[in-house]
Amino acid sequence: MEFSPNITERLARARADLRMGVPVVLEGGAVVLAAETLTAERLAALRNLGGEPSLALTSRRAQTLKAPAYDGDVARIALPADASLAWVLSISDPADDLRAPMKGPVQSLRAGDAAMHRAAIALTKAARLLPAAIVLPIAQAAEFARAQNLTLVPASAAIDDGLSPLNPIVSARLPLSVSEAGRLHIFRPDDGAEEHYAVEIGRPDRSKPVLSRLHSACFTGDLLGSLKCDCGPQLRGALAQMGAEGAGVLLYLNQEGRGIGLANKMRAYSLQDQGFDTVEANHRLGFEDDERDFRIGAEILKRMGFGATRLLTNNPAKVAKMESCGITVVERVPLKVGENAHNHGYLATKAEKSGHLL
């Protein structure tokens, strides 16, 4: 019997390690430490290994720093010999960009391969950390990982863009205010990431297009009633419409903050308070406009037996993704609710920069 973890389980360990500040090792030869959870002690220990460590950033963050990203989507920043923990954090985190705009000197590396740095960025994003990591090339990576009791993963697996299989765990009747004929389904991915939910209203006919919505979790809007977004009103409006029609499926996907996690979402909010719009804030943090994976919603609908939908959304990207995943979208049903004085600019940015039909 084989008890050792497979590659999916090792990647889950790697994400957890990085969140705790523990280094991980990439097959092919590199030690990786997440910039956000880096400590002065581990930075010093890394330097004691010798070699030339560098800081991996996304091209979005590099653009803010006016640093060339010679590798396209990733920039490799040379780590100065006297670089402190504070220096690493100032380069990685835009929190004090306006207070201290003159960073550096920052030197982008041009020679060499960026595969390890690209894998490091993918791991930090998957761990819902700032997309920045210290990378140190090492020889005999497997031996080093064993000696230090560190998680070892292939770089290629870290950047694999495949969708982890989703498994139905349980479903149970859940009477709701919009419909007493409610049912909650729980789906768990194989990769140990967040579970996702499907709220089924009534008994939708699997042979017909189902009224559905891809709704990404929004702690601040859905639970706290935040006025900075329209998420809460959209959630309640979608459920109300499904209740009124007597059938529907709301897919509640745990992809907070457009897929960057709640902590990074709050970082983006802080940047918005400094005058940046929602897209600009994401870019300064090192993220793309939208990091969500809508394939999850399409897969859940398939697992529930649906092949076509009337999709409640203002976002054409959701329609395109569902279609590309084999779910026929027979109708885009608008969901224009929740605009107020606090989120007017946010909604305008979604329309102008993200193509939402508002």
Helix 7-20, helix 115-126: angle, nearest 10 = 80
Both tokens assigned to 31: 């030690």
Using CA atoms in the order 253, 258, 263, 268, what is the torsion angle rounded to 10 degrees? -160
Which tokens belong to 27? 């097959």
Tell me if 23 sits within 8 A of 31, measured CB to CB: yes
Q: Which residues are catalytic?
A: 290, 292
- How far is it, in rounded angstroms, from Cα 63 to Cα 69? 8
Q: Are strands 248-253 and 196-201 parallel, antiparallel or unpaired?
A: antiparallel
- Could you tell me if 84 and 165 are in contact, meaning their C-beta atoms sit under 8 angstroms apart? no
SS3 52: coil
**DSSP letters spanning 283-344:** HHHT--S----THHHHHHHHHTT--EEEEE-S-HHHHHHHHHTT-EEEEEE-------TTTH
